């Protein structure tokens, strides 16, 4: 029943009156060993939840940064199975940090929903985000994941209207992921003023915590979102660090963890002095 790990984590964050910091990196970028060392270092760097991308050849919702990360992941030989292996290796040393896999439907469909769900639960995966699987198409996947206690995390977007909202939050658990900009990952910036009412609307409709992502790059942006949302997700800014460190032959793990801790600090201090 691994989605309990997500629920426990958000309950703890609420008790601390702070937002969670969610990091995204791509499995196999630039290689499996580096991803594992990054994963192992992220909780100490301040990540409250970890999103781990599994690469897909045609990532239609990603900006250039994560497109290139997927290409590097594939080039290093990363697969969906390889991603599950990374989670299993991470779990050997960490039983508390929730891990959410994020990617596209075809590799999961290719494995078979039941097979995937069973393997993911065994590896210690807590949730799954599938960008190209809207709620209308999600029931077979939900069936398989629910049987293994894995949360299918739903995405809501600025274009999601009130009529659609009940459909979007149906059969979801863990948290709801608010895509704060209409666009691909890592290009536009989220406007904190627009985020607050959207988060409120989603909380009300779902009764779940709301994480915000797709437009957060800097500590200031992360802090602004952390004031109003239950969690702030940063992906492209971390993946950029991985890319530049790898290109400059620097220590990738060190660089990305340093960036993560700067962002974590901003998220953690965002609500200090408020109640």
Partner 1 sequence: MNAPAKPNDYSAYPDAEGRFGGFGGRYVAETLMPLVLDLGKAYADAKADPEFQAQLKSYNTHYAGRPSPLYFAERLTEHFGGAKIYFKRDELNHTGSHKINNALGQILLAMRMGKTRIIAETGAGQHGVATATVCARFGLPCVVYMGATDVERQKPNVFRMNLLGAEVRPVSSGTGTLKDAMNEAMRDWVTNVHDTYYLIGTAAGPHPYPVMVRDFQSVIGAEAREQILEMEGRLPDAVVACIGGGSNAIGLFHPFLGDEGVRLIGVEAAGHGVSTDKHAASLTGGRPGVLHGNRTYLLQDDDGQIIDAHSISAGLDYPGIGPEHSFLHDIGRAEYVSTTDTEALEAFKLCSTLEGIIPALEPAHALARVGEIAQELGKGKIVVMNLCGRGDKDIFTVAEALGRKI
Catalytic residue IDs: 51, 62
Work out whether the CA dihedral 250, 185, 138, 165 comes out positive or negative: positive
Minimal distance in Å, beta carbon 28 to partner 1? Answer: 11
Which residue number, 134 or 197, has a Cβ lying nearer to partner 1? 134
Which residue number, 106 or 261, has a Cβ lying nearer to partner 1? 106
Helices (H) and strands (E) in the chain, counts: 12, 9
Which residue number, 45 or 184, has a Cβ lying nearer to partner 1? 184
Which residue number, 21 or 214, has a Cβ lying nearer to partner 1? 214
Question: Which residues have C-beta within 8 Å of that of residue 253, sequence separation ≥ 6?
Answer: 34, 37, 38, 41
Question: Which residues have C-beta within 8 Å of that of residue 195, sequence separation ≥ 6?
Answer: 178, 180, 212, 224, 225, 228, 229
Minimal distance in Å, beta carbon 221 to partner 1? Answer: 19
* Contact residues: partner 1, CB under 8 A: 55-63, 67, 71, 74, 79-81, 104-111, 131-134, 136-137, 154-161, 164, 168, 179, 182-184, 187-188
Place of tokens 């901003």: 266
- Ramachandran area for residue 213 (φ above 0: left; ψ -120 to 50: alpha; else beta): beta
Is residue 204 within 8 Å of 175, Cβ to Cβ?
no
Residue 211: strand pairing partners: 177, 231
Minimal distance in Å, beta carbon 47 to partner 1? Answer: 24
Minimal distance in Å, beta carbon 84 to partner 1? Answer: 12
Q: Which pair of tokens denotes residue 117?
A: 């769900």
């Amino acid at each position: 029943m691994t989605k309990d790990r997500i629920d426990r984590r958000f309950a703890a964050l609420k008790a601390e009156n702070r937002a969670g910091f969610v990091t995204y990196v791509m499995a196999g970028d630039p290689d499996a060993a580096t991803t594992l060392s990054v994963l192992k270092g992220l909780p100490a760097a301040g990540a409250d939840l970890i999103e781990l991308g599994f690469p897909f050849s045609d990532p239609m919702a990603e900006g250039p940064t994560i497109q290139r990360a997927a290409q590097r992941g594939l080039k290093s030989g990363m697969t969906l199975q390889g991603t599950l292996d990374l989670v299993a290796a991470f779990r050997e040393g960490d039983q508390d940090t929730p891990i959410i896999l994020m990617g596209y439907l075809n590799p999961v469909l290719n494995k078979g929903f039941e097979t995937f769900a069973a393997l993911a639960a065994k590896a210690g995966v807590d949730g799954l985000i599938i960008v190209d699987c809207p709620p209308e198409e999600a029931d077979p996947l939900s069936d398989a994941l629910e049987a293994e206690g894995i949360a299918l995390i739903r995405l809501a977007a600025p274009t999601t209207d009130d009529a659609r909202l009940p459909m979007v939050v149906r059969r979801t658990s863990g948290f709801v992921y608010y895509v704060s900009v209409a666009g691909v990952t890592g290009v536009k910036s989220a406007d904190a003023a627009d985020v607050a009412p959207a988060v409120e609307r989603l909380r009300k409709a779902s009764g779940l915590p709301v994480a915000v992502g797709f437009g957060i790059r800097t500590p200031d942006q992360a802090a602004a979102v952390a004031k109003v949302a239950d969690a702030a997700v940063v992906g492209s800014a971390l993946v950029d660090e991985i890319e530049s460190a790898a290109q400059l032959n620097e220590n990738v793990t060190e660089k990305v963890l340093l960036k993560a801790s700067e962002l974590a600090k901003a998220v953690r201090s965002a609500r200090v002095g408020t109640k």
